[in-house]
Chains A and B, each alone.
Chain A
Amino acid sequence: MYSFKGDKMSERKVGTINNGVVVDHITPGKGTEISKILGLDSLGEFVVIASNLESKKSGKKDLIKIEGKELSQEELNKIALISKDSTINIIRNSSVFKKYPVVVPDIVENILMCNNPYCISNNEKISSKFYCLDKSKVTLKCHYCEKKQNEIKIK
């Protein structure tokens, strides 16, 4: 795994992949967290995590390139919850085969922990469940304790 940091690092300078996925336009500083929840440490494939790249769209961004990886819907949901403006590039034969933005799901099941320690979902072995009230701010409401929350805690 390679990690690059630096204000002027262009994404072209970062290693290319042949078949896999590029998670682009990650909120600066969130690349490491996404790498962690995708379990990239133990993937055994070529992985690049770049921080604070220049971005025309948002000024700065993080970016992750993963060789030989396909993302599941659950992984896409997790990425959307951590960094809602990320885009996914599917790479085939070193070219972009498909490009699409991540979408914050309307209902988030068994991915997050409720921030309320008194919530039944933190006191009983059950799946957590949240409703997304505002996708632009990623405001979620717990199905059980009804607490609204913006801080995301992945299980």
Chain B
Amino acid sequence: MKEIKHIISIHDLEKEQINYILEKAKDIEDYPNKYIDALKGKVIASLFFEPSTRTKMSFETAVKKLGGNTIGFEDIQNTSAKKGETFSDAIKVIAGYSDLVVMRTKIEGASRLASEIANKPIINGGDGTNQHPTQTLLDLYTIKKEKGKLEGLSIGFFGDLKYGRTVHSLVEAISLYSPKKIKFIAAPQFQIGKEYLEMLDSKGIKYEILEDAKGNLKDLDILYVTRTQLERIVEPIDMDPLKKKYTITKALLDGENNPGLLVMHPLPRVYEITTDVDDTPHNIYFKQADNGVPVREAIICILLKVIK
């Protein structure tokens, strides 16, 4: 297996490397005591140039559980970027203080640049609309943990498939595991981009483009639901008529008569899943969020070579 030096984009990772990360995350989750001092004496820089709650807290929890320390900021206003310092200079200096850098930026490709100019491992915690690879890895981990496998599953994607980067990355990643079928369920204006369908065609993976969830969830293993990325939509759009049609409810799931169907969501949820789904066995979205911690622990340990 090729060495994993940074985690910048899901495209950089080979299937063998993804499997390795998931395997280590499972070991960390099952045997946490083995890793209590894994990051003893290590300093992780947590640079959130753009606000984040879950990702930042999940990374910082991961570092604390491994016995490490964090430095960093979550507000660009408190940094020397305000004084006009370039991103490149800031990264070189901060990388010098720390053993590994996690960053989230609005500017796309910033973590790629950081990985080329800093002499420490870089983790992309999300760069604008581009990549959020640790989310994709925790999504894969969740599917594997709950379904016992990644190969040959039937997966539905529901909601905003056009703008949601988590959907794009997961479609690409799951395509490495020969899915039985993929269903893209969305309003036409939020349907998945042609390039992803071409990618699936090139791999001979079957898919369906659908507008309605009703009647189409019976044969799925996983339903991945996303929030509408209103902040990324340029043209104003009346969401009210779409909200009702594009909401997953307990009644809808009951009607599909598919007790094995697991519902995922990268969170935050707005209206796409009603709260009455929370108390059903379909709900795995909160477990999914929890899985961010062991997966990020594994990634940090692998990049810092403190795990074998």
Contacts and interface: CB of A to CB of B under 8 A. Distances in A.
A and B bind:
yes
Interface of A: 116, 118-121, 123-126, 142-148
Given A124-B113, A125-B86, A146 B11 contact: yes
A126 B88 CA distance: 9
Given A126-B88, A146-B130, A146-B131, A120 B195 contact: no
A145 B108 contact: yes
B286 interface: no
Given A143-B112, A146-B9, A123 B130 contact: no
Contact of B128 (A118, A121, A124, A142): A118
A148 B11 CA distance: 14
Nearest to A148: B195
Given A126-B113, A145-B130, A120 B86 contact: no
Interface in B97-155: 106-110, 112-113, 127-131
B9 A120 contact: no
Contacts of A147: 108, 130
Given A143-B112, A146-B11, A118 B88 contact: no
Interface string B144-186: 0000000000000000000000000000000000000000000
A143 B86 CA distance: 20
Contacts of A120: 87, 107-110, 112-113
Nearest to A142: B109
A120 B91 CA distance: 13
B86 A118 contact: no
A119 B107 contact: yes
A2 B113 CA distance: 45
Contacts of A118: 106-108, 128-129
Contact of A124 (B9, B11, B87, B195): B87
Contacts of A125: 86
Interface of A is mostly: loop
14 contacts: A116-B108, A118-B106, A118-B108, A118-B129, A119-B107, A119-B108, A120-B108, A121-B109, A124-B87, A143-B112, A144-B108, A145-B130, A146-B9, A147-B130
Contacts of B9: 146
A116 B109 CA distance: 11
B87 A123 contact: yes
Nearest to B117: A126
Interface in B1-24: 9, 11
Nearest to B129: A118
Contacts of A142: 109
B246 to A, nearest CB: 27
Given A118-B128, A124-B87, A124-B88, A144 B195 contact: no
Interface string B73-106: 0000000000000111000000000000000001
Nearest to B108: A145
Complex A-B, nearest 5 residue pairs according to Cβ-Cβ distance, in ascending order: A144-B109, A145-B108, A120-B109, A145-B109, A120-B110
A120 B105 CA distance: 10
A118 B131 CA distance: 13
A145 to B, nearest CB: 4
A119 to B, nearest CB: 5
Given A118-B107, A126-B88, A143-B112, 6 more contacts: A118-B108, A120-B112, A144-B110, A145-B108, A145-B127, A147-B108
A143 B115 CA distance: 12
Contacts of B106: 118
B80 to A, nearest CB: 15
Nearest to B131: A146
A103 B40 CA distance: 54
A114 to B, nearest CB: 8
A123 B88 contact: no
Contacts of A146: 9, 11, 108-109, 130-131
Nearest to A146: B130
A144 B112 contact: yes
